[in-house]
């Protein structure tokens, strides 16, 4: 110990203090000081606070206590003892001990101060009062030792409210801290200052927050955002000023600040939705890089925002629900030939605006797109937030993506499961289909806690429908055998609900429940009785045996609710059991006095009903029962008896009512509707506390209803100057320092990528490393600043050049998304310029060809396109691959010199495509051809003009369904008579086919005059093989041997799959059924359109909508056997791509791969 | 947001409280204790309790309730997730998260809580940032601190909070550069009486222990990435890369972390590595029941099935069990009626079995509950789904790291449940 003292070189007075402490605290053990003991092992601060208690305990003489502890220090051992003792504290020596602590705090030795502070913090942790130490503690606020300082802060924040005047002593320290050159010190000073809840310093706080909000360091700005709600809760009158600060911080472009400021927004002014407009797109784009807690807050806020700003994407669906008439006109108009007529019709419809085809706002799409990746977050709260966003905002067809993520959360901690299941239960009521594939994930495990089991049961019940009810019921049977009785009861009720909802199984369920009546467990029986009662009410006539059976149960069953249910049933349906009912009443009358109240009431009911129907047998019994009830202890029962007597027993006094007694008692009662308790809970925002409690919690912001018509979307447009004119050095630097970590890849792989996406993605990976380097914290601020100043100059120069050249370059480089070095980009753009010019031309070509192909679409469809294309022009400038083109567009369309730069619009054109796809997917009316970009059909020669002696025949695969036989491929033949004489009696003969193949000949062409042409369609069933069909083509004079050999791509027809279905099918076609090839895409074929076009030309497949823009998916079915054919083209950097074909028929798969490879590489 | 936090131990004592805003009286916990009393099992306490002025959101971990007090609307999962994060941090710091550990380190706990929440809103939850702020206590450090008077609180400022890769600190140096990845898969299955599988799923995680100098940029690719049906990532994984190429590309945090958790698509057949032959019968009228259980390996690709532990909840009517295991030991708890059999390793030549009789309450009728059998097991060096890591590459640093990958299969909540009779046929 002495060496230890030497080491520490304690001043004499310190040792004295120690000694006094010891003498008071530890009696004779003077050689062990509380300060110096911790050399042995961990300090037991927790228990060290109350040595008086310890002594108390020690004198109690408990010996061993914490003997096993490794440290062996006396103090710790006692600490453990104290824990064992339970730690109820009596502070009779408290002032004394606090004096010691004060002395320690007053010493000039940091170690002593630290020791004292630790003890004090431990006291706070235990909830003991340490407020009288305030003056002693607050003196140390400027202590050099960082840990002492931090602990003083902890103390200060805890007690400042109680000791306002003294707390003011510390303020100057923090004010000094706010001016510190180190950002972290500034931040922590602001943090503590704002945490001190003393009203007097409100102006100081306000000033500090305002100053910090424009601090250079984003970390300080983040702290400022955190301070806002603190100040607001202290003094709500500052609201207006705080809103100004919030507005300023909302405009901040760093991920660090975004989450915190939205949190402040939510606490201070959630109603000021207008503040979000200008920042909406930025928030969406930053979202993926914000820290996870901020993500939750932002997503929840944006959900509300979107509800006020966008139109309901499911408006068509709700129209459909509304009524048949309305939607009919809507769809008819799609195919309407006559425009005038259509107009008339539409005029008839009153709410014209409503009927407008829905087009999703690109901003709405942006939100959905940018939140989707967060479903993969490890943080359950983020996943839930995205799920609720999709549930409340996404078109019906897209909501499904959240199911998988939610099911994943079910493997997390039970508390997480609890919350998720509550939300799933609500979702399953509205969108049952979404969770049906995951039915088995909701099966109950014997290890689940009861509350989880019951929620899972709820979900299973909601998911039950005609197709899966048998599996669910089988599961339920197992549950009935469980030992957890609450759960068994819930299961029986669930069976009851399934039975009411699904008519087909009602009888099965009823039988099952009746069997349960013979169960040995009374609870099971009782619960069954209650449920059976409800079921029987739906169709009583059929089930008099069951009622009889239940009547017998009254002898044994004791659970009051069940007895009451049986009695009610017998009374209600007494005419079905005319013999038994009076007998039951007799028995009940006997035991009346011993029954529970609810049973007594039902006995009176039964008696009354029997009296009315069968007064001869039951008159006396009824009177007996009523007399018994008259003297019952319960006044409800006495009242009921009096009431009923007056009603049913006609006396001279009783008035008109008794005439209606029969009507009153034997009225037809409506069958109960067994509803889920989660019905209609979705008017609360999902995932919220209010939803969970099914009651509005304080501070809950209502989820607004969709607006009738969308507010002006232009409010979200951000002025260009704000983006481009970040000439101030500070802003520029921000951009450097806080490059979003991943946003770069986000931006590069934006959905509209097509022609020149490859070089960009190449640089994307580069830029990741760049951002990492620049972002590495080792870079001190100063060095960055210096390096930046150089860069700035360069950039300024360059900008001048750029302005001369192209506006769009600048825009691209200034766009928030791109975290690339400006210089690099410049170089690259220059390089690409030549390429992209030609490529973008192509792009437009392919687009136009697509729109041509969509001529088949209805007028309305085209209109839609036009409507969407109106807001399109401003979007174009941002798209990298359309730079050149857009420049032209700008000149043409934009009178204003400042083009609107909206990073959002990057997604527009693509979202248009997906929107249309989405629409046509949901509208079965539209023909499939509108989606698959049909291309010019390839003609094959069947008979050459020369061999045919003037008759030439070409054929093509028209890709139409061959109506006489669905298993046949339609072959369209085009006959041209080039000869001078007519050709007659064109027909087919002598068909030679491989086994299984069939041919449906075209009708004989009687006459083909010279110089004329005609077409005919024949059907060939190729049996999913590429074997040729050989036959003779006969005219009235000649016979020609011809053969039709189909390319493999024509042996299929498109089918429609959703993305999920596709994935599901694909996962079933693995292994042997999957063929993949790597390829290098043809230079002209590196955009999505080109790929889609080439693939669909080569094979009769249809495009499957796909979330990823790097993948094109196609699906089809072979014509004869209907085996699925799935093709995927996944593009990578530099034109590399992978082609995957999944098909049960390996031969077809292999051949298709060959064909597609050829199509894509040439 | 989060107003206060109370830690409650199994016996219902509040042993720690922390307030981030004004002080909330600990009497608010009375509502929690009420709910606790109502619940039959500790895990049945509702996670969210509504009281007149506050809402209590709690999680139960390591027999400690972490009760957060909320005053206004906040997503419950937000709080729950945060509380779990707190527990994880404690575990990370103290090795265990027990009442004793928290009491011993009460100051560190307080400092941690102070940093993790600011005014009830999460501030620093990355363990890497926290460790820079507050060093985890070790015996050695406590020694040094006492002698030199230095402290647990980091001298440097938490630069990690400013970084674009907040999960990794700078200036990491190792002499041996190593990266280890453990692919651990859990099978979750429900098997019915006849042995056919009702549901079976595989969930896996890849836990990593990366000790690499500098700022390495790693990519991990799989032989068969399509097996992964649903994934969730550590925030360090670049999502776009995964979407496009099915490659995990990331700058790893320093030390231990969970890189990925995944779910193998349910379409793929799950091979259950063991089978159970059972014969559990009760005869009507007799006070004896037969118990006969045999385990055998199935589809294990030659790997040994280890650490097998069978547990079964027997019906309440069973008074005692007199059984004879061919290997391992068994225990039967007459109060909870829980039978556990520690089998150990399964030897395919000599299958382990447990046979004997159960004595029932005299005169009681035949129990009609169905006993369920839970099996725990471990298989080393095999991922049951067949997932294989293809390669691991490192960019951004010059040295050559040592790389290691380990596979393991475990049983999750594997349940075999046995139906005794069918009701609805």
**pLDDT tens-digit profile of A1076-1099?**
888 888 777 777 778 888 888 888
Q: Do A698 and B73 touch (CB under 8 A)?
A: yes
Spatial contact of A82 and B103, defined as CB atoms under 8 Å apart? no
Distance CA A204, CA A195 (A): 13
> Residue A253: its pLDDT value, please?
86
Record the tokens describing residue A830, joined without a space. 């220059």
Residue A820 has pLDDT above 80, yes or no: no
| Choice among A328-332, A450-454, A1102-1106, B306-310 with the minimum mean pLDDT | A328-332
Q: Do B368 and A481 touch (CB under 8 A)?
A: yes
Task: Identify the DSSP state of B328.
Answer: S
Helix orientation angle between A485-501 and A469-480, rounded to the nearest 10 degrees: 160
Q: Do B118 and A478 touch (CB under 8 A)?
A: no
> Residue A16: its pLDDT value, please?
45
Q: Do B232 and A378 touch (CB under 8 A)?
A: yes
Nearest to A1118 by CA among A1110, A1126, A1108, A1128: A1126
| Choice among A599-613, A1094-1108, B227-241, B366-380 with the minimum mean pLDDT | B366-380
B158 contacts in A (CB within 8 Å)? Answer: 184
Which of B26, B77, B119 is opposite residue A384, by nearest beta carbon?
B77
Q: Give the minimum alpha-carbon distance from A185 to chain B in angstroms, rounded to a whole number.
A: 8
> Residue A1027: its pLDDT value, please?
79
B-interface mutation test, from A495, A689, A1063, A1106, most B Cβ less than 10 A away: A689
Which of B81, B109, B164 is opposite residue A775, by nearest beta carbon?
B164
Tokens 């990794």 -> residue: B168
Residue A608 has pLDDT above 60, yes or no: yes
Nearest to B165 by CA among A594, A478, A777, A1081: A777
Spatial contact of A219 and A256, defined as CB atoms under 8 Å apart? yes
Q: Give the minimum alpha-carbon distance from B424 to chain A in angstroms, rounded to a whole number.
A: 5
Residue A420 has pLDDT above 90, yes or no: yes
Q: Which residues contact A970 (CB under 8 A, 6 or more apart)?
A: A957, A958, A959, A960, A961, A962, A1017, A1018, A1019
Residue A38 has pLDDT above 80, yes or no: no
Interface of A with B in 843-862 (CB under 8 A): none
Residue B23 has pLDDT above 80, yes or no: yes
End-to-end CA, chain B: 53
> Residue A726: its pLDDT value, please?
38
Residue with the bigger pLDDT between A305 and A724: it is A305
For residues A19-34, average pLDDT: 41
| Choice among A58-67, A346-355, A583-592, A1013-1022 with the minimum mean pLDDT | A58-67
Burial grade of B255 (CB within 10 A; 0-12, 13-18, 19 or more): middle
Tens digits of residue pLDDT in A254-294? 888 899 999 999 999 988 888 889 899 999 998 888 888 99
Residue with the bigger pLDDT between B25 and A718: it is B25
Average pLDDT, chain A: 71
- Which helix H or strand E contains A682, and what residues bound it? none
Task: Identify the DSSP state of A139.
Answer: G
Distance CA A367, CA A283 (A): 9
Q: Do A125 and B109 touch (CB under 8 A)?
A: yes
Q: Do B234 and A110 touch (CB under 8 A)?
A: no
Residue A699 has pLDDT above 90, yes or no: no
User: Which is it for strands B247-250 and B274-282: parallel, antiparallel or unpaired?
Assistant: unpaired
A377 contacts in B (CB within 8 Å)? Answer: 232-233, 235
Tokens 């228990």 -> residue: A47
- Of all residues in chain A, the percent with pLDDT exceeding 90 is 8
Spatial contact of A361 and A713, defined as CB atoms under 8 Å apart? yes
Interface of A with B in 772-811 (CB under 8 A): 772-773, 775-778
Residue A687 has pLDDT above 60, yes or no: yes
Q: Give the minimum alpha-carbon distance from A565 to chain B in angstroms, rounded to a whole number.
A: 23
Tens digits of residue pLDDT in A143-164? 877 788 888 888 888 888 888 8
Residue A701 has pLDDT above 50, yes or no: yes
Q: Do B22 and A161 touch (CB under 8 A)?
A: yes
Could you give the C-alpha distances from A350 to A345, A353, A355, A825, B306, in angstroms and in order? 10, 9, 9, 54, 73
Q: Does any CB of chain B come closer than 8 Å to the CB of residue A1108?
A: yes
Which of A197, A292, A443 is opposite residue B198, by nearest beta carbon?
A443
- Which helix H or strand E contains A41, and what residues bound it? none
Which of A118, A380, A777 is opposite residue B77, by nearest beta carbon?
A380
* Three-class secondary structure of residue A1034 per DSSP: strand
Residue A873 has pLDDT above 70, yes or no: no
Residue with the bigger pLDDT between A868 and B88: it is B88
Q: Which residues contact A181 (CB under 8 A, 6 or more apart)?
A: none
Distance CA B74, CA A698 (A): 9
Which of A42, A515, A776 is opposite residue B170, by nearest beta carbon?
A776
- Number of Cβ within a 10 Å radius of residue A198: 20
Helix/strand/coil percent split, chain B, to 5: 20, 40, 40
A-interface mutation test, from B104, B173, B280, most A Cβ less than 10 A away: B104
Q: Which residues contact B139 (CB under 8 A, 6 or more apart)?
A: A41, A42
Q: Do A408 and B230 touch (CB under 8 A)?
A: yes
Spatial contact of A641 and A626, defined as CB atoms under 8 Å apart? yes
For residues A1127-1131, average pLDDT: 85
Residue B412 has pLDDT above 90, yes or no: no
Q: Does any CB of chain A come closer than 8 Å to the CB of residue B72?
A: yes
Distance CA A744, CA A742 (A): 5
A-interface mutation test, from B27, B72, B75, B396, most A Cβ less than 10 A away: B75
Q: Do B419 and A481 touch (CB under 8 A)?
A: yes
Residue A195 has pLDDT above 80, yes or no: yes
Distance CA A39, CA A966 (A): 89
pLDDT band, residue B8 (cuts 50/70/90): very high
Record the tokens describing residue A133, joined without a space. 């130490």
Distance CA A372, CA A375 (A): 6
Interface of A with B in 961-1000 (CB under 8 A): none
ipTM over 0.95: no
- Radius of gyration of chain B from Cα atoms? 26
Cβ-based contacts under 8 A for chains A and B: 338
> Residue B84: its pLDDT value, please?
94
Residue A880 has pLDDT above 70, yes or no: no
Q: Does any CB of chain B come closer than 8 Å to the CB of residue A332?
A: no
Residue B324 has pLDDT above 60, yes or no: yes
Record the tokens describing residue A842, joined without a space. 């192509």
Tens digits of residue pLDDT in B339-384? 888 888 888 888 888 888 888 777 666 666 667 788 888 888 888 8
Q: Do A83 and B103 touch (CB under 8 A)?
A: yes
Helix orientation angle between A544-553 and A580-591, rounded to the nearest 10 degrees: 20
Tens digits of residue pLDDT in A891-929? 333 344 444 443 433 343 444 444 434 333 333 333 333
A-interface mutation test, from B7, B18, B62, B81, most A Cβ less than 10 A away: B81
Distance CA A962, CA B83 (A): 63
Record the tokens describing residue A436, joined without a space. 């049906």
Strand partners, A974: A954, A1015
Spatial contact of B118 and A191, defined as CB atoms under 8 Å apart? yes
Q: Do B149 and A111 touch (CB under 8 A)?
A: yes
Which of B41, B105, B251 is opposite residue A772, by nearest beta carbon?
B251
Residue A449 has pLDDT above 50, yes or no: yes
Tens digits of residue pLDDT in A609-665? 888 888 788 888 888 988 889 888 888 999 988 888 888 777 666 566 677 777 777
B139 contacts in A (CB within 8 Å)? Answer: 41-42
pLDDT band, residue B154 (cuts 50/70/90): low
Residue A37 has pLDDT above 50, yes or no: no
Q: Which residues contact A483 (CB under 8 A, 6 or more apart)?
A: B313, B315, B316, B369
Tokens 């969308």 -> residue: A710
- Radius of gyration of chain A from Cα atoms? 40
- Which helix H or strand E contains A1007, and what residues bound it? strand A1005-1008
Residue A807 has pLDDT above 60, yes or no: no
> Residue B266: its pLDDT value, please?
62
Nearest to A953 by CA among A997, A1025, A1018: A1018
Q: Give the minimum alpha-carbon distance from A295 to chain B in angstroms, rounded to a whole number.
A: 11
> Residue A418: its pLDDT value, please?
93
User: Which is it for strands B372-380 and A1111-1118: parallel, antiparallel or unpaired?
Assistant: unpaired
User: Which is it for strands B288-297 and B255-264: parallel, antiparallel or unpaired?
Assistant: unpaired
Between CA A901 and CA A909, with CA A906 as vertex, the angle to 5 degrees is 125
Q: How far is CA B373 from the centre of its chain?
A: 21
Largest CA distance in chain A: 135
Q: Do B422 and A508 touch (CB under 8 A)?
A: no
For residues A769-782, average pLDDT: 40
Distance CA A614, CA A606 (A): 11
Q: Does any CB of chain A come closer than 8 Å to the CB of residue B420?
A: yes
Spatial contact of A144 and A135, defined as CB atoms under 8 Å apart? no
Q: Do B240 and A768 touch (CB under 8 A)?
A: no
Interface of B with A in 203-262 (CB under 8 A): 203, 215, 217, 226, 229-235, 238-241, 243-245, 251, 258, 261
Q: Give the minimum alpha-carbon distance from B232 to chain A in angstroms, rounded to a whole number.
A: 4
pLDDT band, residue A942 (cuts 50/70/90): confident
Spatial contact of B326 and B353, defined as CB atoms under 8 Å apart? yes
Q: Does any CB of chain B come closer than 8 Å to the CB of residue A907?
A: no
pLDDT band, residue B55 (cuts 50/70/90): very high
Spatial contact of B301 and B241, defined as CB atoms under 8 Å apart? no
pLDDT band, residue A750 (cuts 50/70/90): very low
Spatial contact of B383 and B407, defined as CB atoms under 8 Å apart? yes
Closest residue, chain B, to A407 (C-alpha): B230
For residues B243-254, average pLDDT: 87
Interface of B with A in 344-363 (CB under 8 A): none
Closest residue, chain A, to B259 (C-alpha): A378
> Residue A653: its pLDDT value, please?
64
For residues A798-813, average pLDDT: 47
Q: Give the minimum alpha-carbon distance from B37 to chain A in angstroms, rounded to a whole number.
A: 15
Which of B80, B121, B423 is opposite residue A477, by nearest beta carbon?
B423
Interface of B with A in 281-310 (CB under 8 A): none
């Amino acid at each position: 110990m002495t060496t230890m003292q030497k080491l520490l070189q304690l001043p004499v007075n310190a040792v004295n203090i120690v000694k006094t402490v010891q003498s008071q605290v530890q009696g004779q053990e003077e050689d062990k000081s509380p300060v110096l003991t911790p050399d042995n092992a961990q300090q037991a601060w927790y228990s060290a606070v109350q040595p008086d208690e310890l002594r108390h305990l020690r004198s109690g003489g408990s010996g061993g206590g914490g003997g096993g502890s490794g440290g062996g220090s006396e103090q710790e051992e006692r600490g453990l003892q104290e824990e064992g003792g339970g730690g109820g504290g009596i502070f009779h020596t408290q002032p004394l001990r606090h004096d010691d602590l004060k002395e320690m705090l007053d010493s000039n030795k940091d170690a002593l101060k630290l020791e004292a502070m630790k003890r004090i913090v431990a006291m706070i942790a235990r909830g003991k009062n340490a407020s009288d130490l305030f003056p002693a503690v607050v003196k140390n606020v400027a202590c050099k030792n960082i840990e002492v300082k931090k602990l003083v802060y902890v103390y200060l924040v805890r007690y400042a409210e109680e000791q306002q005047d003294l707390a003011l002593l510390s303020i100057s320290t923090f004010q000094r801290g706010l001016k510190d050159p180190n950002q972290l010190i500034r931040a922590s000073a602001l943090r503590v200052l704002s945490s001190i809840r003393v009203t007097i310093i409100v102006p100081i706080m306000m000033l500090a927050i305002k100053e910090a909000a424009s601090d250079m360091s984003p970390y300080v700005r983040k702290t400022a955002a955190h301070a806002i709600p603190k100040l607001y809760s202290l003094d709500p009158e500052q609201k207006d000023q705080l809103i100004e600060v919030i507005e300023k911080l909302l405009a901040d472009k760093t991920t660090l600040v975004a989450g915190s400021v939205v949190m402040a927004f939510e606490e201070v002014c959630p109603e000021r939705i207008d503040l979000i407009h200008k920042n909406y797109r930025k928030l969406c784009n930053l979202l993926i890089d914000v820290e996870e807690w901020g993500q939750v807050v932002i997503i929840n806020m944006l959900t509300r925002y979107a509800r006020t700003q966008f139109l309901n994407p499911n408006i068509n669906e709700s129209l459909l629900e509304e009524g048949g008439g309305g939607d009919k006109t809507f769809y008819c108009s799609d195919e309407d030939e006559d425009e005038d007529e259509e107009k008339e019709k539409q005029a008839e419809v009153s709410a014209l605006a409503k009927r407008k085809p829905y087009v999703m706002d690109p901003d709405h799409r942006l939100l959905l797109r940018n939140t989707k990746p967060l479903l993969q977050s490890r943080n359950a709260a983020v996943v839930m937030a995205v799920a609720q966003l999709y549930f409340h905002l996404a078109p019906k067809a897209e909501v499904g993506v959240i199911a998988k993520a939610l099911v994943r959360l079910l493997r997390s901690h039970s508390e997480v499961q609890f919350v998720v299941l509550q939300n799933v239960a609500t979702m399953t009521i509205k969108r049952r289909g979404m969770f049906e594939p995951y039915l088995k994930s909701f099966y109950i495990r014997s290890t689940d806690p009861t509350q989880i089991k019951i929620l899972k049961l709820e979900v299973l019940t909601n998911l039950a429908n005609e197709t899966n009810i048998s599996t669910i019921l089988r599961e339920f049977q197992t549950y009935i055998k469980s030992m957890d009785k609450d759960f068994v009861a819930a299961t029986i009720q669930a069976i009851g609900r399934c039975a009411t909802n699904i008519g087909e199984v009602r009888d099965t369920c009823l039988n099952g429940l009746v069997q349960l009546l013979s169960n040995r467990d009374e609870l099971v029986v009782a619960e069954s009785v209650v449920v059976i009662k409800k079921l029987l009410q739906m169709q009583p006539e059929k089930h008099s045996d069951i009622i009889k059976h239940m009547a017998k149960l009254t002898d044994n069953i004791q659970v009051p609710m069940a007895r009451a249910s049986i009695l009610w049933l017998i009374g209600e349906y007494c005419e079905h059991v005319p013999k038994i009912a009076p007998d039951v009443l007799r028995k009940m009358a006997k035991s009346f006095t011993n029954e529970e109240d609810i049973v007594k009431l039902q006995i009176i009911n039964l008696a009354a009903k029997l009296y009315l129907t069968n007064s001869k047998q039951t008159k006396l019994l009824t009177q007996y029962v009523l007399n018994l009830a008259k003297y019952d202890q319960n006044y409800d029962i006495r009242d009921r008896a009096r009431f009923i007597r007056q009603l049913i027993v006609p006396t001279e006094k009783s008035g008109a009512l008794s005439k209606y007694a029969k009507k009153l008692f034997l009225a037809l009662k409506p069958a109960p509707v067994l509803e889920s308790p989660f019905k209609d809970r979705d008017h609360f925002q999902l995932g919220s506390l209010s939803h969970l409690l099914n009651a509005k919690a304080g501070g809950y912001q209502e989820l607004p209803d969709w607006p009738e018509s969308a507010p002006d979307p232009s409010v979200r447009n951000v002025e260009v100057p704000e983006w481009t004119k970040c000439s101030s050095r500070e802003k520029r630097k921000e951009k450097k320092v806080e490059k979003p970590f991943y946003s770069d890849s986000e931006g590069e792989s934006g959905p509209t990528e097509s022609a020149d996406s490859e070089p960009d993605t190449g640089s994307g990976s580069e830029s990741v490393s760049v951002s990492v380097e620049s972002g590495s914290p080792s870079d001190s601020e100063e060095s960055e600043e210096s390096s930046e100043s150089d860069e700035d100059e360069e950039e300024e120069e360059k900008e001048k050049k750029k302005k001369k050249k192209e506006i769009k370059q600048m825009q691209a480089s200034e766009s928030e998304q791109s975290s690339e070095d400006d210089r690099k980009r410049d170089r690259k753009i220059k390089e690409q310029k030549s390429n992209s010019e030609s490529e973008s031309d192509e792009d437009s070509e392919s687009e136009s060809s697509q729109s041509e192909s969509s001529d088949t679409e209805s007028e309305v469809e085209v209109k839609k396109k036009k409507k969407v294309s109106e807001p399109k022009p401003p979007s174009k400038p941002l798209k990298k691959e359309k730079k050149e083109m857009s420049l032209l567009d700008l000149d043409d369309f934009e009178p204003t010199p400042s083009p609107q730069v909206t990073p959002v619009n990057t997604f527009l054109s693509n979202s248009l495509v997906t929107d249309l796809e989405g629409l046509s997917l949901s509208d079965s009316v539209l023909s499939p051809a509108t989606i698959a970009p049909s291309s010019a059909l390839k003609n094959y020669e069947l008979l050459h003009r020369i061999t045919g002696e003037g008759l030439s025949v070409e054929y093509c695969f028209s890709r139409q369904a061959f109506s006489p036989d669905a298993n046949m491929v339609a072959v369209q033949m085009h006959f041209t008579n080039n000869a001078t004489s007519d050709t007659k009696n064109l027909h087919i003969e002598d068909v030679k086919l491989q086994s299984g193949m069939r041919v449906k000949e075209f009708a004989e062409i009687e006459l083909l005059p010279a110089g004329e042409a005609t077409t005919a369609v024949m059907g060939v069933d190729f049996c999913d093989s590429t074997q040729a069909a050989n036959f003779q083509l006969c005219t009235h004079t000649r016979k020609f041997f011809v053969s039709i050999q189909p390319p493999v791509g024509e042996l299929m027809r498109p089918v429609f799959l959703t993305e999920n279905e596709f994935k599901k099918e694909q996962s079933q076609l693995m292994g042997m059924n999957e063929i993949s090839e790597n390829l290098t895409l043809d230079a002209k074929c590196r955009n999505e359109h080109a790929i889609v076009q080439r693939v669909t030309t080569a094979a009769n497949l249809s495009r499957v909508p796909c979330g990823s823009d790097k993948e094109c998916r196609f699906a089809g079915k072979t014509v004869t056997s209907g085996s699925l054919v799935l093709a995927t083209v996944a593009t990578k950097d530099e034109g590399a791509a992978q082609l995957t074909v999944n098909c049960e028929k390996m031969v077809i798969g292999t051949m298709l791969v060959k064909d597609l490879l050829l199509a894509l590489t040439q | 947001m989060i107003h206060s936090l109370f830690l409650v131990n199994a016996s219902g004592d509040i042993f720690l409280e922390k307030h981030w805003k004004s002080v909330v009286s600990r009497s608010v916990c009375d509502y929690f204790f009420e709910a606790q009393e109502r619940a039959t099992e500790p895990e049945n306490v509702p996670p969210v309790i509504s009281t007149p002025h506050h809402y209590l959101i709690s999680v139960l971990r390591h027999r400690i309730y972490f009760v957060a007090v909320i005053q206004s609307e906040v997503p419950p999962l937000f709080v729950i997730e945060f509380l779990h994060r707190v527990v994880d941090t404690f575990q990370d710091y103290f090795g265990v998260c027990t009442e004793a550990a928290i009491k011993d380190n009460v100051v560190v706990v307080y400092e941690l809580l102070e940093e993790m929440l600011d005014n009830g809103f999460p501030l620093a939850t990355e363990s890497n940032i926290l460790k820079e702020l507050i060093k985890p206590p070790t015996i050695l450090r406590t020694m040094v601190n006492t002698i030199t008077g230095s402290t647990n609180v980091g001298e440097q400022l938490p630069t990690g909070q400013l970084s674009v890769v907040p999960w990794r600190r700078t200036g990491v140096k190792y002499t041996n550069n190593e990266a280890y990845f453990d692919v651990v898969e859990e099978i979750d299955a429900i098997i019915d009486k006849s042995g056919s599988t009702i549901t079976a799923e595989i969930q896996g995680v890849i836990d990593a222990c990366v000790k690499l100098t500098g700022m390495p940029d790693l990519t991990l690719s799989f032989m068969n990435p399509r097996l992964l049906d649903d994934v969730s990532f550590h925030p360090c994984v670049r999502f776009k890369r995964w979407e496009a190429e099915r490659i995990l590309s990331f700058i790893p945090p320093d030390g231990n972390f969970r890189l990925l958790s995944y779910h193998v698509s349910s379409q793929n057949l799950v091979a259950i590595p063991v089978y159970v032959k059972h014969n559990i019968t009760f005869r009507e009228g007799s006070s004896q029941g037969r118990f006969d259980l045999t385990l055998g390996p199935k589809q294990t690709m030659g790997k040994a099935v280890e650490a097998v532990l069978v547990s079964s909840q027997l019906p309440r009517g069973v008074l005692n069990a007199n059984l004879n295991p061919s290997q391992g030991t068994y225990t039967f708890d007459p109060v909870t009626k829980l039978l556990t059999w520690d089998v150990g390793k399964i030897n395919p030549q000599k299958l382990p079995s447990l046979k004997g009789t159960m004595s029932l309450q005299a005169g009681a009728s035949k129990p009609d509950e169905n006993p369920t059998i839970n099996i725990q097991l471990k298989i080393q060096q095999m991922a049951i789904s067949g997932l294989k890591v293809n390669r691991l590459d490192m960019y951004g640093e010059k040295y050559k790291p040592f790389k290691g990958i380990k596979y393991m299969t475990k049983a999750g909540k594997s349940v075999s449940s046995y139906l005794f009779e069918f009701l609805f046929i």
